[in-house]
Structure 1
Amino acid sequence: MVESSSSLLELGGPVVLVLLGISVLALAVILAKAFQLSNARVGRHSLVRQAVTMWRTGERSKATQALLKDRSLSAALVRSAMEAIQKLDGQPLSSQERDIREERLREEISARAADRLFGLTSWLKALDLVTQIAPLLGLLGTVLGMIETFQTLQESGSSANPGTLAGGIWVALLTTACGLAVAIPVSVAVTWFETRLEKERAALEVLLTGVFTAGATSNQSPSS
């Protein structure tokens, strides 16, 4: 295994060495991102959905207490919205003033959610860059290898060995294969991360909307 890897590096030259370094860095970033999303419990909303349901049915204290057990990103944001609305409910405000403050609160919570989600997208651009430059580096290695092969062919003239020529070509194409081998799995990982974050963004919007619309309804009902 070690010998085959060493021969691969010798055949591919410095381009393969660069691609190997990039692949190691990309793998480290992918593992770090996977841990980050898991730690933020991205995509896990069952307890938060139950709390929002309790909130909308009037069990507000029970809903906020239930979210204390959840350390997810969505739970922290929804709990902040619930606690802020409860503070508004305890203040002697006119209906118009309360609506203004609640709208500002909603904008603040939305901005906080956007900021937290933006933090989770860190290093995704770097991974996206890997998916773009890895095939280009592989192609560069192939072009350089083909130039060297045809230079050898020109120098050999009519005594050129077809087997040697074919060997030089497949060695040149080796770098393209290495570039694609790096880019494809990294591209899959980037797509998976972006999909998870997009779903998280949509889920947060739905959950926060459920909290704020329930708050507006509960404050309008006594005056009706």
Structure 2
Amino acid sequence: MDIPSSPFAAALGRPFADLAALFDKGGPAIWAIAALSVVTVALVLWKTWRLLSSGAFSGGRRTAQAAALWQQGNHDAALALVEGRRSLRARMARAAMRALRDPGLSIEAAEAETGRVARALLSEARTGLRSLELIATVAPLLGLLGTVMGMIGAFQALEATGNRADAAVLAGGIWEALLTTAAGMAVAIVASVALVWFESIAERLRHDMEDAATVIFLRARPRAALVPGRRPDAAA
């Protein structure tokens, strides 16, 4: 016994049927572009979540306060302010402060260790950006490839008709071919915008880390001798 479909189910199914028809007309290239679009959305959501969890949008006010306290000589309070925090800025500041308080490290070694940690944190902040850059480059090329293949097919169909050539057939083939170009450009635009946004966040993080490290190390040399356990020759 057949159960009649409701008007709601029919209305819901029609957009999906139209979308499937568009994918069939676009050929293999449109399916590849669709896969790239899914990967792009997943990358953007994952990267946004990673940056949120690492405190990239917090502004770094607490880290700046800790750096100022450290410069004033209140080392314990400064270290306590960033202790246990997961933000990238706080982790860099904590590494710098611990390196300066390590009696086995000279000032140059502490600076090198801080730079190493900062580079690793910035690399973590930039994870996934190369993939977005690749998608922004490949998606338009896939669209262009689909267009060229579609145009070849349209002109082959036109040649097969001979003197009975129909302009509507050629126009339909060109329209189907240009569909892949539009889809590829749409995916590339989204990937490019997301890439620029994430790059700007990484650049701001780099600037904040450099600023905090400069403040922390600004008076490190004359104060190194006051650090408990540090060898006097390490401050030289």
After TM superposition, the score normalised by the length of structure 1 is: 0.87
Of 101, 111, 130, 1:125 maps to 130
| Kept after mapping to 1: 8 A contact 2:69/2:75 | yes
Deviation at 1:130, TM superposition (A): 0.8
Letter in 1 for 2:25: L
Q: What residue in structure 1 maps to residue 83 of structure 2? A: 68
Deviation at 1:38, TM superposition (A): 1.2
Q: Size of the alignment, in residue pairs?
A: 212
Q: What residue in structure 2 maps to residue 94 of structure 1? A: none
Question: 1-side partners of 2:82 and 2:167: how far apart?
Answer: 72
Q: What residue in structure 2 maps to residue 213 of structure 1? A: 218
Letter in 2 for 1:34: T
Please provide the CA RMSD for this pair: 2.0
Deviation at 1:189, TM superposition (A): 0.6
Letter in 1 for 2:72: T
Query: Are residues 1:197 and 2:202 paired?
Result: yes
- Matched residues, percent identical? 36
Question: Quick one: structure 1 residues 182 and 117, their matched pair in 2 at CA, closer, same or farther if it must change by over 3 Å?
Answer: same
Query: Are residues 1:110 and 2:115 paired?
Result: yes
| Kept after mapping to 2: 8 A contact 1:47/1:70 | no
Letter in 1 for 2:159: Q
Question: 2-side partners of 1:56 and 1:182: how far apart?
Answer: 48
Question: 2-side partners of 1:155 and 1:12: how far apart?
Answer: 21
Of 129, 141, 147, 2:146 maps to 141
| Kept after mapping to 2: 8 A contact 1:43/1:199 | no
Q: What residue in structure 2 maps to residue 78 of structure 1? A: 93
Deviation at 1:204, TM superposition (A): 0.5
Q: What residue in structure 2 maps to residue 54 of structure 1? A: 69
What is the SS of the residue equivalent to 2:127?
A: coil
Deviation at 1:186, TM superposition (A): 0.7
| Kept after mapping to 1: 8 A contact 2:99/2:114 | no
Of 165, 168, 190, 1:163 maps to 168
Letter in 1 for 2:147: T
Uncovered stretches (5+) of structure 1, i.e. residues with no partner: 92-97
Letter in 2 for 1:67: V
